[in-house]
């Protein structure tokens, strides 16, 4: 009888900041590892630019998903769960799906792609519950503005669904994105309409990287913080990625469990 060799390949876009990597990515990997003692847990980055930068600058070698899967195949893994640390099933998810599909020809006895944070309708409430653990007390006068990444991909609609469920839950939280819809301009209109005085800016991204540090919280003229200040709002910034929140680790762990049990909506 062939001995089962089981692995979980965690994938992330990656970051070139060592402290952020440790806080927002390695911490999730560590908890997934703890939750699945029978599985060998590995990490791959999807951004080749970051992989190359880390190799050149820090002599750190991180595989892309294809390289990692080739290694796992060569090492005789029988079961592989690929779990992305993505928030929405956008372009990066589609790209990953394509890579994983290449190995769906019997390379492994079992190969499953896990879901991102927001996939099924039920996921939104779960994500909001996780988010609540890092929100300030809900108030009519103060609002939280989330900075999602945003995308040209149709999965960008996830941010609008998130906003809708947030409203169902009665939270004074406004969803916005850097590179998609809703844009930041819409936020100012909403805040003024609601007579909000104080705003907390918070990234809705795995890592508090360049977008959070520069586009959201920097003192540059065009950062969200500066623009809101100029408009007369009191602005606080929360500079932690979702990867620092253990409630989000639990979401990823749950998604791995779903994948193991064949309960994912995504089929390869
Ligand atoms: Co970006």
Q: Name the average pLDDT for the chain.
A: 96
pLDDT digits (tens, 9 = 90+) for 194-208: 999 999 999 999 999
Residue 117 has pLDDT above 70, yes or no: yes
Contact of 146 with 173, CB cutoff 8 Å: yes
Q: Measure 184 CA to ligand 1 centroid, in angstroms.
A: 15
Q: Whats the size of the chain, residue-wise?
A: 268
Question: What is the per-residue DSSP string for 81-105?
Answer: EEEE--SSSSHHHHHHHHHHHTTTT
Quickly tell me which residue has 């003024």 as its tokens.
Answer: 192
**Taking the model in full, what pTM does it have?**
0.96
- Supply the pLDDT for residue 1: 59
Using pLDDT thresholds of 50, 70 and 90, give the confidence band for residue 170: very high
Please give the distance, rounded to the nearest whole angstrom, from the Cα atom of residue 255 to the centre of ligand 1: 24
191: tokens are 């805040």
| Sign of torsion over alpha carbons 23, 48, 50, 91 | negative
Per-residue pLDDT tens over the stretch 66-101: 999 999 999 999 999 999 999 999 999 999 999 999
- What is the mean pLDDT of the segment spanning 226-246? 97
Question: Within 13 Å, how many C-alpha atoms sit on residue 60's CB side?
Answer: 17
What confidence tier does 268 reach under pLDDT thresholds 50, 70, 90? Answer: confident
d(CA 118, CA 31): 20
C-alpha 150 – ligand 1 centre gap (Å): 8
153 is known as an active-site residue = no
* Average pLDDT score over residue span 120-125: 97
Query: In a 10 Å sphere around its CB, with 0-12 CB exposed, 13-18 middle and 19+ buried, how is residue 75 labelled?
Result: exposed
Q: Is the model's pLDDT at 266 over the cut of 90? A: no
241: CA distance to ligand 1 center in Å? 14
**CA 139 to centroid of ligand 1, rounded, Å:** 30
Residue 80, H or E segment = strand 79-84
């Amino acid at each position: 009888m062939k001995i089962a060799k089981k692995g979980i390949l965690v994938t992330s876009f990656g970051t070139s900041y060592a402290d952020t990597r440790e806080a927002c990515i390695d911490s999730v990997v560590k908890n997934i590892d703890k939750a699945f003692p029978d599985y060998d847990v590995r990490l791959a980055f999807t951004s080749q630019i970051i992989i190359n930068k880390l190799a050149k600058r820090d002599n750190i070698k991180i595989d892309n998903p294809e390289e990692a899967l080739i290694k796992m195949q060569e090492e005789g893994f029988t079961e592989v769960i690929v779990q992305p640390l993505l928030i929405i099933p956008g372009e990066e998810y589609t790209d990953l799906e394509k890579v994983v599909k290449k190995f769906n020809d019997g390379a492994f006895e079992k190969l499953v792609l896990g879901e991102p944070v927001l996939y099924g309708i039920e996921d939104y409430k779960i994500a909001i519950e996780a988010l609540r653990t890092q929100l300030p007390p809900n108030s009519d006068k103060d609002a939280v503005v989330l900075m999602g990444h945003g995308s040209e991909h149709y999965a960008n609609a996830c941010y609008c669904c998130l906003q809708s469920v947030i409203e169902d839950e009665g939270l004074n939280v406004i969803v916005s994105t850097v590179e998609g819809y809703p844009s930041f301009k819409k936020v100012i209109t909403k805040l003024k309409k609601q007579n909000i005085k104080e705003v907390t800016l918070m990234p809705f991204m795995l890592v508090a990287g360049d977008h959070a540090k520069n586009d959201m919280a920097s003192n540059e003229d065009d950062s969200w913080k500066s623009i809101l200040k100029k408009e007369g709002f009191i602005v606080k910034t929360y500079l932690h990625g979702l990867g620092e929140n253990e409630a989000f680790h639990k979401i990823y762990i749950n998604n791995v469990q779903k994948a193991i049990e064949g309960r994912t909506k995504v089929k390869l």
